[in-house]
Amino acid sequence: MRYGVPDSSDTSLTSNQISFYSFSDSDAMTDRLPDQDVNMERETSSGLVLLPPELWSKNYLIYGSGVLSEATLAHPARVAEIFAAIQNSPAPVSAFNNPITSTSSNLLPRPAPPRITPYDGTPNNLRAFCSQLINQIQDSEGHFPTEISKVRFAYQCLGSGALIKMRSPFRCLEDTNIPQEIVTLDQFIKALKQRCQDPALLDKAISMEGDA
């Protein structure tokens, strides 16, 4: 604060009538309340409006431009509380520490193999059916762990015409109380050929054997 000097042209002024002049900053000092916090004025002058303290978070304090310094001035206890909670929080569990246990393939249901065209029992389609049946079983070998499972699948591929011809030798596949006559795929195909083979081919084979 700087004091002014009295006007020298007027010598009649007394010491009580001397006028004093001061800089503008002295006016600002007289306008400030005695108990006003300087930090509050700094926060107001920055123009930054903070969220309510209960909405603060670590990311808000760290990544907000100028937020951390202003929040520390306004509510240091709240800032300390947030960072203390971060340090005390448990570390996230890594996925590598808890590998997922793979389910055994033996427990997974096996998909049913694609169905083939049912055999109608005619001699003309017998060879094509047998070839298709064998290829299907070989391609889905994992689905047929035993010979009897192959036989039961082959039996399901018979149409009504073939079932009429084959029902007698295949009764064991329908009724488990009947002793099984056919237990392998080879036996199944042989029995199928005996009942559904083209008679003309059989006659031709017999005649060729007789000529020999």
Residues 192, 137 within the same domain:
yes
Cα–Cα dist 193/130, whole Å: 9
Residue 158, classed as helix, strand or coil, is strand
Q: Which structural domain range is residue 80 located in?
A: 37-87
In this prediction the pTM is 0.40
Dump pLDDT digits (tens) for 67-84.
888 888 888 888 888 888
18 in any annotated domain: no
Going by the DSSP 8-state scheme, the letter that residue 123 receives in this structure is G
Give the tens place of pLDDT for each residue, 116-156: 888 888 888 888 899 998 988 888 878 888 998 898 888 88
Cβ-contact 76, 61 below 8 angstroms: no
For the chain, the domain total comes to 2
Pick the closest to residue 155 from 134, 145, 170, 137 (CA basis): 170
Residue 158 phi, psi dihedral angles, 5° rounding: -85, 135
Q: Which 3-state string (H, E, C) describes 177-192?
A: CCCCCCCCHHHHHHHH
Same domain as 140, residue 78: no
Q: To the nearest whole number, what is the mean pLDDT of the chain?
A: 69
Classify residue 79: in a domain, yes or no: yes
Task: For residues 121 and 190, state if they share a domain.
Answer: yes
Residues 185 and 137 in one domain: yes
More confident of the two residues 75 and 104: 75
pLDDT tens, position by position, 20-46: 444 444 444 444 444 444 444 444 446
Residue 14 lies in a domain: no
Q: What is the average pLDDT across 183-211?
A: 69
Residue 162: the pLDDT is 83
